[in-house]
Structure 1
Amino acid sequence: MTHSLGLTLRRARHDAQLTQAATAEGICAQSMLSAIENGRYIPNSEILIQLCQRLKISLTAISLADNFDISNQVAINQELDRLCNRHAYQTLNDYLLSAPVLAAITTDRQTQAYYYYLGITEYQLKHNLDAAQQDFDLALNSTAGPATTLTRLIHAANGLTAATAGKPTVATTAFTTALADIDQAPYEADLNILFYLAALADYQLGRPVAATVRLQDGLRFITAHDSHYMLANSYHLLAVISAKSDHQNQADEANQFATMLTTLFHEKIFDDFTKYQ
């Protein structure tokens, strides 16, 4: 199945329980949004950014497709899942440091997942980037063996933290490890996020071309596995990068963004823009 930009936006709109009229209000004509959702028109990056913001498609607050257990106790794992999906990072940080949770961790894999989530909260709360990287290092040292989806996510989180801290060499090394031989890895939806995090790191480091390549690779990877997880976020970041690129004028920028998506997914561009004014 081919997942187009339009289908991705429609899915996000349904998830947000918004009508086309409410989504398009103040951004574009409802007829334009309808054309976008039905694959008859590709918006310029500015319109796509505004639509993503309206639909609350975040660039940084990302939920995993499937969370990892930190305990044998179902209630603890369910609470972790709930707090992660709400992006309640301070509450999650407090929860992870609570005595009942600490006492419930019994295996090396649970320990690894625990330090991964603890590092994520430290990163998101901007408490201490060094502390976040220490947590990720502890997570990686908790188990040995071949790469897993979780260890790849930990390397990616470490890489993004390094990029945020202005450490490009560390970031590049971390993402090289995270993405190594990914095409041979057993597919899990959470692998989709690796390309996105690598692109976000490149973007933070002022490497828009590299970020765009990462996103294009990620979009191909996602669609090759008939998935939609991280598609909307990837389109959003791609639009942000395109909008901030140094083009001569907005029309050139819009055309380049549309051409990029057309080349990537063989989307049909409807040229009569005035029809949707």
Structure 2
Amino acid sequence: MNSFGAVIKEIRKNRKLTQKMLSEDICSQSVLSRIENDEELPNVVVMQQICQRLGVTMDQIMQFKSEDVRLVTRMFDKIADYFRHKEYQKILNYMKETTIEERLHLDTDWQRYYYYLGSCKFYLYNNYEQAILDLKKGLSYTYQANKANLSDFEIQVISCIGSTYGSAGNPAEAEKYLKLSIHYFHKLPNIRVNAELTKIFFNYAKFLREQNRLEEAQIYIDQGIVWARHRNSYYYLEELFKLKSQLMELKQNHEKAEEYRLLSEQIRRIETIKI
């Protein structure tokens, strides 16, 4: 069996976390480095906190097989690429062809599985009830209400639950989850935030637009646009520009509405070329 240090190093790299990101508020980076290199044995508290941040249990660490984790990581990378390009039927087909659920062991992997499964049911079939059940099941693998630090992925799941509640006609539950995702976003250290979190601003802004709360919607649209540009990412930028255009039309600012419509079209063409 691999040592504790070797296992967490392998999982950390597969989660695309740096030592600084994993050790923050748990131990110093130098201590984590010594743990990973088997130069120091962590105490039980540190061990549990590291496992929690990685989304694994001690039992899973004991049964860890690095080749399995690498294979599942490659599979989820492919699914994530389909998801970014909104190819939801390809996700379902790929999941079925690979029988990916038979290869999952880590809590964070099950969380991803149910996130993508629920999202596909939402986008392909408008099955809001089942989508919410799947998304909540995915979140339950790692989330507790008193948890201080959430992962980027947990925040995405929370936002998508809120968005699905909004589509299902339950604005109270929708806003509860959408606001919670923004709350946790602002608690994340900058080094741990990925570009795909742009979507949480779109989700909340779209909900506020549907509730006719235009000024609030504009705040989150602008925050999402700034964040996407800050991360040099086009992810959900087209949708944000389109939503901003719609908002400008409602405010009778036709010149600005056209400006943002054209920006949305430009991003769409760029993304089409990239695909």
TM-score by length of 2: 0.59
2:237 aligned with 1:219: no
* Percent identity (aligned): 19
Structure 1, unaligned runs of 5 or more: 1-69, 248-252, 261-277
Deviation at 1:148, TM superposition (A): 1.2
Q: C-alpha separation between the residues in 2 aligned to 1:183 and 1:148?
A: 12
2:113 aligned with 1:114: yes
Match of 2:87 in 1: 88
SS in 1 for 2:186: helix
Equivalent residues in 2 for 1:132-171, closer than 5 Å:
132-144=131-143, 145=147, 146-171=149-174
Match of 1:228 in 2: 233
Deviation at 1:189, TM superposition (A): 1.2
**Structure with the largest fraction of helix:** 2
Deviation at 1:100, TM superposition (A): 1.9
Per-residue deviation, residues 24-75 of structure 1 (Å, max 9, x unmatched) = xxxxxxxxxxxxxxxxxxxxxxxxxxxxxxxxxxxxxxxxxxxxxx964155
Deviation at 1:91, TM superposition (A): 3.2
Write the letter of the residue equivalent to 2:135: F
Q: C-alpha separation between the residues in 1 aligned to 2:102 and 2:184?
A: 36
Write the letter of the residue equivalent to 1:90: Q
TM-score by length of 1: 0.58
Q: C-alpha separation between the residues in 1 aligned to 2:228 and 2:98?
A: 39
Q: C-alpha separation between the residues in 1 aligned to 2:201 and 2:214?
A: 14
2:89, 2:124 within 8 Å by CA — same for their partners in 1?
yes
User: Which 4+ runs in 1 deviate beyond 6 A?
Assistant: none
Write the letter of the residue equivalent to 2:86: H
Per-residue deviation, residues 63-94 of structure 1 (Å, max 9, x unmatched) = xxxxxxx9641552344134324422223224
Greater length-normalized contact order (CA 8 Å, ≥ 6 residues apart)? 1
Q: C-alpha separation between the residues in 2 aligned to 1:218 and 1:71?
A: 33
Q: C-alpha separation between the residues in 2 aligned to 1:168 and 1:228?
A: 30
Match of 2:254 in 1: 254
Write the letter of the residue equivalent to 1:203: R
Structure 2, unaligned runs of 5 or more: 1-67, 261-275
Deviation at 1:194, TM superposition (A): 1.2
Q: C-alpha separation between the residues in 2 aligned to 1:172 and 1:155?
A: 11
Q: C-alpha separation between the residues in 1 aligned to 2:224 and 2:114?
A: 26
Deviation at 1:257, TM superposition (A): 5.0
Q: C-alpha separation between the residues in 1 aligned to 2:81 and 2:178?
A: 28
Match of 1:17 in 2: none
1:179 to 179, 182, 185: 182
2:241 aligned with 1:242: no
SS in 1 for 2:99: helix
1:157, 1:197 within 8 Å by CA — same for their partners in 2?
yes
Deviation at 1:142, TM superposition (A): 0.8
Q: C-alpha separation between the residues in 2 aligned to 1:259 and 1:121?
A: 32
SS in 2 for 1:219: helix
Aligned residue pairs total 184
